[in-house]
Amino acid sequence: MNILHIDSAITGEASVSRKLTADIVARLKDANPDASVTYRDLNKGVPAIDTDWFHAVRLAPEAPTEDQKQLIETSNAYLADVQDADVLVIGSPIYNFAITAQLKNWLDQIARAGLSFRYTEAGPEGLLTGKRAIIAYTSAGTPIGSEIDFASGYLRHILGFLGITDVEFIAADRLAMDHDAGLARAQEALDRIAA
């Protein structure tokens, strides 16, 4: 088993999502001792896609410049992490009702036509099939699945668009209202997770 462990919180050691992703990975490793783990801390910076990225990665010039080669290599590395993974463990704290900018940048980097999805006569088809995603969803006040939660539905949709349809959430939500209850809900969900 290959595990891709993604964190995106900006709060360092105080992060609940980082603790949850570590707990999830530990549980998976306990059940699969030979599993390998690739770790990405998106808080260290994920380049946003822009015009330069479009010209380098999407247009794929035959003779890319050195700067374009770097953009291509970075995007390819993020995508290779996902292609090689059997399980994705993603930390998604909720900031301003949505996913972090870093996590959005990472998703933009891996959403690559012809590589992670393709368009067919029947519509889009995800190419990253046969994978499982476990998302540690944490929020101060946004209840998961509520009308003000613009994160969980988006994550389920974009991952499904890429072919990852086995998506489950471990939610520690509304932590600012009742921290202990939010952690208890996450622990109950974690205890139910099949490793």
For 151-165, the pLDDT digits (tens) are: 999 999 999 999 999
R_g over Cα of the chain: 17
Looking at residue 191, its pLDDT comes to 86
Looking at residue 138, its pLDDT comes to 97
Q: Which residues contact 176 (CB under 8 A, 6 or more apart)?
A: 140, 141
The yes-or-no verdict on residue 195 having pLDDT over 60 is no
Q: Which residues contact 187 (CB under 8 A, 6 or more apart)?
A: none
Ordered by start, the domain boundaries in the chain are 2-192
Does 15 show up as a binding residue in the annotation? Answer: yes
* Domain 2-192: assigned CATH number: 3.40.50.360
Count Cβ atoms below 10 Å from residue 119 Cβ, excluding itself: 10
The percentage of residues in the chain with a pLDDT greater than 90, rounded to a whole number, is: 90
Nearest to 136 by CA among 41, 40, 16: 16
The yes-or-no verdict on residue 187 having pLDDT over 90 is no
Count Cβ atoms below 10 Å from residue 160 Cβ, excluding itself: 15
Looking at residue 171, its pLDDT comes to 95
Helices (H), 44-170: 51-53, 66-84, 101-110, 152-161
Average pLDDT of 6-12? 96
Q: At what angle do helices 179-192 and 16-31 cross, to 10 degrees?
A: 20
Looking at residue 194, its pLDDT comes to 67
Q: Residue 132 is encoded by which pair of tokens?
A: 């499982």
Tell the residue number behind the tokens 């030979």, with chain if given: 34
For 134-151, the pLDDT digits (tens) are: 999 999 999 999 999 999
For 53-97, the pLDDT digits (tens) are: 999 999 999 999 999 999 999 999 999 999 999 999 999 999 999
Does 8 show up as a binding residue in the annotation? Answer: no
- CB burial of 59-84 (b: ≥16 within 10 Å; e: otherwise) equals eeeeebeeebeebbebbbebbebbbe
